[in-house]
Chain A
């Protein structure tokens, strides 16, 4: 589904002081588009994603999906994959995948069947009866992706979903999930700190400036999806990478000393 972000600004007020997190964001995403958000730490990427999913209302402006304004969370419109381990530890994997369906009142039979299909798609079919603690971090995040996809959402919102994983795991996960997402024709917004991840996955990379976050630049990646792993070794990839590296460096305020690939974490 088409999504447009119109003049969105977010200001936080806490104990008298205000923080301007986002300022006048305008973006539109067409159906099935995969957009990656890159930007310095604290520039408001998570805040923007939270607004897109209806978990927060922008201070100013609005978000329109299809032809309705986003006001509340609705997992069938936009489903989240969170960064931190967010599976319910007391439920088995199958029930974790089906938790959104459970909330929506879908019957047990149907829920289990749908969850099992998604686990198969994610290559985890034999893990349905296990509990999250028994799975590796990478497997848990695949379950989190399955949980979001179970809602058959028009939009998938991913906030550094593989941030806690090592490079190797990220790559192989990236390849398998990328295929699934392309097949599902979901519109995807991915927040990431990894240039490689952004270029490898996205149709368009948006670079945001340091706080208050604004859209500073965007880069189209024309290579058709899903992309083979070899894409990472190609000339185009290297070129896009250095282009984005410079933009990100600029976004951080021209500080030549700072390394944009290792953003300071709050």
Chain B
């Protein structure tokens, strides 16, 4: 494990990146000659953003999207962790479920989205269900690998020092599986964000994704861009929360490279 102090260059460099993005955007609008129907000008987008932020319905939509993602993520984490733990307990289950989880992880689950619509309707339920299923597989798969690959030495220590099977599970296996589980949870968080927003855009009646789809279908480009900015902010907040959840207390405030 290697620790760094955050370099004083980090924030200036980030600002520079943002500046470059804005520069390219402004160039596209002006000398670049991109149609404002495709790429609206920055002032128009900021105007639309201000307008959206002054409307209560925007907050309502954001709350719906946020809630759907959060619910999908929590359901997937609880069930994924439990499934991974359960499936890693015997060699037979391991063989059976490992390939199922990998399949669910890699398969384009979007193919099954119509089934979610049919069973849960176009409301909030289908988004949560679909998001939870997509996030479940990476979490379950990584948890299964984590529990199945606990170092034999650790198990030997547990046995030699008199751990009960309950103590072996919770004081040895769980903590030593944690790094791999957290990378699964991170992937799951990403999956639930993508799928929920995408599902909202495809078929729904509420949420920021729905607003975005509506705006782009009606060629309201500035409004669509405002929604994109709001969605990015929402995703940023969610990622921050996940990071906070997954970083051990003693490591907070440091950047750490963990070699796996």
Residue ranges of A at the interface with B (Cβ–Cβ < 8 Å): 53, 55, 73-76, 79-80, 82, 84-86, 88-91, 99-100, 102-104, 133, 147, 151
Instruction: Determine whether the beta carbon of A74 is less than 8 Å from that of B175.
Output: no
Give every chain B residue within 8 A of A86 (Cβ-Cβ): 153-154, 156-157
Given contacts A90-B175, A102-B171, A133-B1, contact A84 B153 (CB under 8 A): yes
Measured CB to CB, the closest approach of chain A to B147, in angstroms, equals 15
8 smallest A-B Cβ distances: which pairs? A100-B161, A80-B160, A103-B163, A90-B175, A103-B162, A75-B161, A75-B162, A86-B153
* Bound-state Cα–Cα, A90 to B1, Å: 12
Instruction: Determine whether the beta carbon of A82 is less than 8 Å from that of B156.
Output: yes
Question: Quick one: closest A residue to B163, CB to CB?
Answer: A103
Instruction: Determine whether the beta carbon of A53 is less than 8 Å from that of B160.
Output: yes
Give every chain A residue within 8 A of B171 (Cβ-Cβ): 99, 102-103
* Bound-state Cα–Cα, A2 to B1, Å: 44
Give every chain B residue within 8 A of A53 (Cβ-Cβ): 160
Interface size classification for chain B: 10 to 19
Give every chain A residue within 8 A of B206 (Cβ-Cβ): none
Interface residues of B in 188-245 (CB under 8 A from A): none
Q: Is B164 an interface residue (CB 8 A)?
A: yes
Give every chain A residue within 8 A of B175 (Cβ-Cβ): 88, 90-91
Select which of A82, A88, A104 is within 8 A of B162 by beta carbon: A104
* Bound-state Cα–Cα, A90 to B171, Å: 10
Instruction: Determine whether the beta carbon of A82 is less than 8 Å from that of B161.
Output: no
Beyond the given A88-B154, A88-B157, A100-B162, please list 12 additional residue pairs across the A-B interface where CB-CB is below 8 A.
A75-B162, A76-B162, A79-B161, A80-B160, A82-B157, A99-B171, A100-B161, A103-B158, A103-B161, A103-B162, A103-B171, A151-B161
Measured CB to CB, the closest approach of chain A to B132, in angstroms, equals 29
Instruction: Determine whether the beta carbon of B154 is less than 8 Å from that of A75.
Output: no
Residue ranges of B at the interface with A (Cβ–Cβ < 8 Å): 1, 153-154, 156-164, 167, 171-172, 175-176, 178
Select which of B156, B160, B164 is within 8 A of A79 by beta carbon: B160
* Bound-state Cα–Cα, A102 to B167, Å: 9
Give every chain A residue within 8 A of B167 (Cβ-Cβ): 102-103
* Bound-state Cα–Cα, A91 to B157, Å: 14
Give every chain A residue within 8 A of B172 (Cβ-Cβ): 88
20 of the cross-chain contacts (CB-CB < 8 Å) are A55-B156, A55-B160, A75-B160, A75-B161, A75-B162, A79-B160, A80-B160, A82-B157, A84-B153, A85-B153, A86-B154, A88-B172, A90-B176, A91-B175, A100-B161, A100-B162, A102-B171, A103-B162, A104-B162, A147-B161
Given contacts A84-B153, A88-B157, contact A73 B176 (CB under 8 A): no
Give every chain B residue within 8 A of A99 (Cβ-Cβ): 157, 161, 171
Question: Quick one: closest A residue to B157, CB to CB?
Answer: A86
* Bound-state Cα–Cα, A88 to B176, Å: 8
Give every chain B residue within 8 A of A82 (Cβ-Cβ): 153, 156-157, 160
Highest count of chain A CB atoms <10 Å: which of B161, B163, B178: B161
Given contacts A86-B153, A88-B154, A90-B175, contact A73 B1 (CB under 8 A): no
Question: Quick one: closest B residue to A92, CB to CB?
Answer: B250
* Bound-state Cα–Cα, A85 to B175, Å: 17
Give every chain B residue within 8 A of A104 (Cβ-Cβ): 162
* Bound-state Cα–Cα, A76 to B167, Å: 18
Measured CB to CB, the closest approach of chain B to A146, in angstroms, equals 13
Highest count of chain B CB atoms <10 Å: which of A76, A89, A90, A102: A90
Question: Quick one: closest A residue to B164, CB to CB?
Answer: A103
Give every chain A residue within 8 A of B158 (Cβ-Cβ): 103
Question: Quick one: closest A residue to B179, CB to CB?
Answer: A90
Highest count of chain A CB atoms <10 Å: which of B163, B172, B176: B163
Give every chain A residue within 8 A of B1 (Cβ-Cβ): 133
Given contacts A82-B153, A86-B153, contact A55 B159 (CB under 8 A): yes
Question: Quick one: closest B residue to A78, CB to CB?
Answer: B160
Measured CB to CB, the closest approach of chain B to A84, in angstroms, equals 5
* Bound-state Cα–Cα, A88 to B163, Å: 14
Highest count of chain A CB atoms <10 Å: which of B162, B163, B176: B162
Give every chain A residue within 8 A of B161 (Cβ-Cβ): 75, 79-80, 99-100, 103, 147, 151
Measured CB to CB, the closest approach of chain A to B31, in angstroms, equals 54
